[in-house]
Amino acid sequence: MRHELQICVLLFTCLYMVSYLILTHFKKTAEFVTEDIEDATVNKIALWLCTFTLSVAVCAVLLLPISILSNEVLLTFPQSYYMQWLNGSLIHGLWNLVFLFSNLSLVFLMPFAYFFTESEGFAGSRKGVMARVYEAVVLLLLLALLVLGIVWVASALLHDNIARKSLYDLWEYYLPYLYSGISLFGVLLLLLCTPFGLSRMFSVTGKLLVKPRLLEDVEDTLSCTSFEEDSLCRKLKKIEGSSTTSCWVKLNMEAMQKEYRTVQRKRIALEMRGKASPWQRNLGYPLAMLVLLALTVMCVLMVCFNVLELLLDEAAMPRGMEDPHLGMASFSMFGSLGAAVQVVLILYLMVSSVVGFYSSPLFTGLLPRAQDTNLTQIIANCVSLLILSSALPVFSRTLGITRFDLLGDFGRYNWLGNFYIVFLYNMLFAGLTSASLIKTVTWAVQRELIRAFGLHRLPLTVSRSTVPFRLLLASGLSKIQ
């Protein structure tokens, strides 16, 4: 028991340091370096709470990969002396800790961090950090009572017996109901964000990689960006040389300086892309697109296979287990290779869900910016990522991406045993992902062909859909030559 606690503390310490580096990269420095020592102290404490929450979110993402890989390691080295520390008790304890800390962060730490940063102390009380603490605790208690009352009324409307028992046994009946509602919200959020993110992964990856010359003219874009940068530089010099000190001029100058820095960064990135080798240009982009397409198709096929299993076998239903029995048998019919594919797919789905979350119109404003993200945005981002990551194990098991059953309290959710919910969830995911993939691929191919053949320069009065195929082919052959 002692060595298991030490391993969990070591893992969490590493994740905490990584999370702190990530948040310090995005935080707005002006909020932490101020003349008001009280505000700076409050912001630092809130940042520590956000770091804790983000580290719990990362650990929740790694739960299934660590569990699956641990099982394969024990299968490969069953009698190894160096693997005696790796056992089912350690994995089970890690699941329980992540469940506890994720709910602690969602229900208490993050609301407290927000109230703490916004509070100023009660009227007539002595100013200071403790006055803010008192106000934040009172607001947190009021919020907890409000949430508990709302959920109790909901449970009374749906399950009258459970609602009556929850008055006498809060821990046994009421909190699992609350956790089940939070998990269901996270899984539904993943259902909306992941298919959209899977389709967005192609465009996001295309912006990071250097495309072949047939699909992108870097030199032309670089020359246009350089002209734009020179134009903005001349305008800035003209404004700086003028004697006008109007506030509108200052605001215009600040906006122009921000635009100038953006264009300058774009020009530097284009110069780096222009220096890419032919192998990186002609091989890297097609391979990346093929890998993304293969992973997405594999996810859809596994979900479709899971739908068939749900209709034929009750064992395909997600459920919880008390003892993982690591090292007994592989959780994939293809052995270690299948387990590795499961880990890759789980991480790929998580990345896609994050991309889809920040690409959706509702949450675009939460997208963090380097050195320019205020503390309220950091808190909102940590809460969002924790909701997504804590629902990832249930999401992956419900879709049949892995056969590793849910451990601890993750398997106690009330809706997991409902066949109709699980079946409808799988059908919706397969349908939404297929529709998004087909739409993205067809529109992307059409857009890249139009751009490659120079047809995007046609006037708006000319319909590009009416361009003859013979003209399109002739233009393409001349481009290739």
Q: Could you write out the DSSP letters of every residue in 280-311? A: IIIIIHHHHHHHHHHHHHHHHHHHHHHHHHHH
- pLDDT surpasses 80 at 311: yes
List, for residues 54-98, the tens digit of each pLDDT value.
999 999 999 989 988 888 888 888 777 777 788 878 888 888 888
What gap in Å lies between CA 437 and CA 441, rounded to an integer? 6
Residue whose token pair is 């699980």: 422
Residue whose token pair is 């734009």: 228
Q: Quote the pTM value.
A: 0.80
What gap in Å lies between CA 222 and CA 270, rounded to an integer? 6
What gap in Å lies between CA 109 and CA 54, rounded to an integer? 12
- Rounded to the nearest 10 degrees, how much is the dihedral formed by the CA atoms of 140, 141, 147, 148? 150
Could you tell me if 53 and 305 are in contact, meaning their C-beta atoms sit under 8 angstroms apart? no
- pLDDT surpasses 60 at 164: no
Residue whose token pair is 């009421």: 174
End-to-end CA, the chain:
70
Alpha-carbon 414 to chain mean position = 25
Ordered DSSP codes for 139-175: HHHHHHHHHHHHHHHHHHHH-HHHHHHHHH-IIIIIH
Reduce the DSSP state of residue 460 to 3 states and report it: coil
The mean pLDDT of the chain is: 78
Q: Which helix (H) or strand (E) holds 321?
A: strand 320-321
Give the pLDDT of residue 261.
77
Residue 438 corresponds to which amino acid? I
List, for residues 215-259, the tens digit of each pLDDT value.
555 666 777 777 777 777 877 777 666 655 555 556 667 777 777
Could you tell me if 389 and 353 are in contact, meaning their C-beta atoms sit under 8 angstroms apart? no
